[in-house]
């Protein structure tokens, strides 16, 4: 599992940053990608990766500001010609997203060759998507903007082969059958599989925010607590807390202070204003804790198990 950054900028693109888009790479887990937001030039950024658009089967839009959706119509149209024919797609997002896309396609006489299902999200929704639990939380922005929390299912512990050998079970294809069962029979005796398994392995958890002011509430902390990765905006990076609040955004020191209330593995800072050049960002990054990263386009972050 990994996150690929296709766009890390805020509002306007710069020479080095597109506006916000992320991929959660789940190819090893479920042979799919999840796309979160679709900033302008999304399909151009994808050309710099090995991502196959046909394997993007679920899209999650945090909110309807242009820097998060202007790349969506072009991507959806191109997907028709990039292996997507007949491959269903589901798009999750706020009210109005379906209307905007359908109007765009109607006016431009665009036709897709695959079905799209639209799911309108609201506060505290919970979805089961390809075995992952996806939860939503309404953030504090000047239009409805959502946090998506992606939770992988718990994985069974490893088989204790030595313990199986003790009862006469020899290694081979039978081990897979045993692990996938709740009980098994050997030499006339029935055994519970759980007695031969190690401790379950917690699934990984990724929390990706749309644009927002800093949120301080117990239900919010509980939802994102123990995330392996948190993606949070910090449009302002240089002690401009009042300005950030005025424009419904976040300032990095506020974000860091707020996350003292939760446990996490990595914090990725997104939606970075183009007022900061690369030299500015290097100076800021050098002052940050090791678990905090200022995102940049085409950054890949691998998320191992037990990373928090």
- Residue 25 is labelled as binding a ligand: no
- Residue 211 is labelled as binding a ligand: yes
Residue 114's contacts (CB-CB under 8 Å, 6 or more residues apart) are 79, 80, 84, 85, 86, 87, 88, 89
Residue 289's contacts (CB-CB under 8 Å, 6 or more residues apart) are 256
- Residue 271 is labelled as binding a ligand: yes
- Residue 111 is labelled as binding a ligand: no
- Residue 232 is labelled as binding a ligand: no
Q: Looking at 25, 37, 67, 297, which residue is catalytic?
A: 67
**Any catalytic annotation for residue 253?**
no
Residue 96's contacts (CB-CB under 8 Å, 6 or more residues apart) are 64
Q: How far apart are CA 108 and CA 98, in angstroms?
A: 15
Rounded to 5 degrees, φ, ψ at 33 are: -115, 145
Strand partners, 150: 134, 206
- Residue 249 is labelled as binding a ligand: no
Q: How far apart are CA 154 and CA 106, in angstroms?
A: 43
CA 196 to each of CA 193, 199, 282, 295: distance values in angstroms, whole numbers, following the listed order = 5, 10, 50, 43
Q: How far apart are CA 302 and CA 4, in angstroms?
A: 9
Rounded to 5 degrees, φ, ψ at 163 are: -70, -35
- Residue 65 is labelled as binding a ligand: yes
Contact predicate 227/154, CB 8 Å: no
- Which residue ranges make up the annotated binding site for Zn(2+)? 63, 65, 67-68, 141, 211, 271
Catalytic positions:
67
Residues annotated in a binding site: 63, 65, 67-68, 141, 211, 271
């Amino acid at each position: 599992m990994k996150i690929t950054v296709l766009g890390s900028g805020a509002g306007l693109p710069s020479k080095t940053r597109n506006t916000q888009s992320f991929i959660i790479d789940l190819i090893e887990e479920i042979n799919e990608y999840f796309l979160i937001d679709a900033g302008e030039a999304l399909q151009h950024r994808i050309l710099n990766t090995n991502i196959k658009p046909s394997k993007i089967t679920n899209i999650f839009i945090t909110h309807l500001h242009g820097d998060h959706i202007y790349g969506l119509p072009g991507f959806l149209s191109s997907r028709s010609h990039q292996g997507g024919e007949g491959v269903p797609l589901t798009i999750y997002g706020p009210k109005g997203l379906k209307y905007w896309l359908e109007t765009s396609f109607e006016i431009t006489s665009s036709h897709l060759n695959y079905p799209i299902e639209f799911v309108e999200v609201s506060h505290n929704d919970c979805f089961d998507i390809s075995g992952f639990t996806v939860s939503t939380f309404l953030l504090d922005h000047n239009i409805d903007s959502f946090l998506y929390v992606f939770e992988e299912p718990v994985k069974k512990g490893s088989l204790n082969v030595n313990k199986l050998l003790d009862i006469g079970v020899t290694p081979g294809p039978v081990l897979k059958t045993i692990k996938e069962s709740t009980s098994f029979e050997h030499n006339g005796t029935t055994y519970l599989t759980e007695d031969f398994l190690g401790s379950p392995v917690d699934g990984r958890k990724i929390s990706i925010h749309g644009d927002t002011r800093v949120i301080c509430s117990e239900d919010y902390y509980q939802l994102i607590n123990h995330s392996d990765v948190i993606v949070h905006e910090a449009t302002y990076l240089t002690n401009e807390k009042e300005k950030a609040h005025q424009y419904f955004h976040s300032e990095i020191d506020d974000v860091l202070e707020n996350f003292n209330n939760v446990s996490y593995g990595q914090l990725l800072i997104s939606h970075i204003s183009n007022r900061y050049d690369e030299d500015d960002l290097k100076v800021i990054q050098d002052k940050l804790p090791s678990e905090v990263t200022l995102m940049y386009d085409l950054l890949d972050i691998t998320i191992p198990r037990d990373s928090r």
